[in-house]
Amino acid sequence: MAQDPEDLNKEVRITAAVLKDAFRGIGDQIEDIFNRATSANDSFQESLQKDLTATLNSLGKNSKTLIDNQEKLNRGLLSSKKIKDQIYNNASKMEGALFALENQRAIVGDDRAKLEKDIKEYYELQKQALLIQADRADEINVKLGITSKLFKGISKIPLLGDILDTDAAISSMQQTAAKEGSTKFDVLKSGLSEIASAEVLMASAAAYLGEQILKADENTTKLAKSLNQTKTEAAGTQMELSAMAMASGNAYLNTSKLVEATVKLGQQLGIAKVFSADVTTEFALLTGRMGLAEESAAGLAKMSVMLGKNSHNVTTEALGTAQALQSQAGIQLDNKKILGESGKVSGQLLANFKGNPTAIATAVTQAKLLGTT
């Protein structure tokens, strides 16, 4: 059963208050021991004691961060990276406090051991509370997925960005994502409800946007599974492939086609990675537009990588050589089959041709020509 938000807020406030009092209490103990110690009369030791007390008070004040974090999480406005930065900052202060305590001659024996134990225990309590919030931030981010990025992109589109209140949509999605038990669909629905109206145009725009968002989420899931990435990392990869599609200048290529190409090429080669733009786009064109078998297209991609050559240029050169041989013989062959067989060459034969697809295509063409003469 999900924890009630009000109960959660109350729990965070209590934890923050306990930590603040605890660190301040440890600082008071250190100051009291120091003032009672007969050796506490040199300026260096006094400086250490003041630094130590100030650091502990700072850690106590930092506990208010828990409350600030919770308020932002309730609105879906906090990233786990921000929280992890807070943990790192607190860890640095804790290490500084322990160093100062270790070098404080006025505090020895059981007193030092107890103070060190208390500092570590309360720091760990603070850290665990922050880690719980970081996990919550990740959950919210997964629900938002790439949806909020798409809405932000729409806000920059001329005219459409002026018509649709994408800021309100994003805010609504963040708040919905922050609710316990909400789903990705709930998040999407809350965003669309902010921009959709009774007009047919707006209804159509909302429906189209919904379709694109669901498709983007589907692509992110595919990439996450194929590349062993988190949903957040996969969303970044999808943006990279989207930029790749736009840079290609080829109307046939889009983000979904390059996502599919990345997944299929990785499966064929047994490599979980994003390949270069020329390799990915050429694989997508060969399999999608030309209808070449995935195995053959992957074989050609592997050869181009081995040779360090542009994948499209390799394909063009191989086809050019094959066509020249056909012209000389006065016979027209199926170039798709030539490329298909060339891409499937492996083992010793591939080694004999040094992985050169042009040389392999030449051999395949000559063999076919001999069979027709």
Q: Cβ distance 238 to 259 under 8 Å?
A: yes
**Quick one: 161 and 64 in the same domain?**
no
Within-domain flag for 183? yes
CA-based nearest residue to 298, from 328, 331, 271: 271
Mean pLDDT estimate for the chain? 78
Residue 27 sits in a domain of what CATH number?
Answer: 1.20.120
Other Cβ atoms within 10 Å of 353 Cβ, number: 18
Which pLDDT belongs to residue 131? 92
C-alpha–C-alpha distance, residues 15 and 8, integer Å: 11
* Segment 305-333, tens digit of pLDDT: 887 888 888 888 888 887 888 888 778 77
Within-domain flag for 283? no
| Total number of domains in the chain | 3
Provide the domain limits for residue 366. 288-372
* Segment 185-234, tens digit of pLDDT: 777 777 777 665 434 444 555 555 555 566 777 778 888 888 888 877 88
Percent pLDDT > 70 in the chain is 80
- Across the range 295-309, mean pLDDT stands at 84
pLDDT of 36 > 80? The answer is no
Residue linked to tokens 């069979």 = 371
Q: What is the 3-state secondary structure (H, E, C) of the chain?
A: CCCCHHHHHHHHHHHHHHHHHHHHHHHHHHHHHHHHCCCCCCHHHHHHHHHHHHHHHHHHHHCHHHHHHHHHHCCCCCCHHHHHHHHHHHHHHHHHHHHHHHCCCCCCHHHHHHHHHHHHHHHHHHHHHHHHHHHHHHHHHHHHCCHHHHHHHHCCCCCHHHHCCHHHHHHHHHHHHCCCCCCHHHHHHHHHHHHCCCCHHHHHHHHHHHHHHHHHHHHHHHHHHHHCCCHHHHHHHHHHHHHHHHHHCCCCCCHHHHHHHHHHHHHHHCCCCCCCHHHHHHHHHHHHHCCCCHHHHHHHHHHHHHHCCCHHHHHHHHHHHHHHHHHHHCCCCCHHHHHHHHHHCCHHHHHHCCCCHHHHHHHHHHHHHHHHC
Following CA atoms 312, 316, 322, 325 in sequence, which dihedral angle do they give, to the nearest 10 degrees?
-160
**Quick one: 37 and 65 in the same domain?**
yes
The residue among 274, 297, 312 that closes a domain is 274
pLDDT of 264 > 80? The answer is yes
**Quick one: 88 and 160 in the same domain?**
no
The residue among 119, 144, 169 that closes a domain is 144
**Quick one: 306 and 265 in the same domain?**
no
* Segment 108-141, tens digit of pLDDT: 788 888 988 999 998 999 999 999 989 888 888 7
Distances (CA, A) of 237 to 61, 221, 222, 342: 39, 11, 11, 31
Within-domain flag for 280? no
pLDDT of 303 > 50? The answer is yes
Which pLDDT belongs to residue 373? 40
* Segment 67-124, tens digit of pLDDT: 898 888 888 888 888 999 999 998 988 888 888 888 877 777 888 889 889 999 989 9
* Segment 5-34, tens digit of pLDDT: 566 678 888 888 888 888 888 888 888 877
Within-domain flag for 188? yes
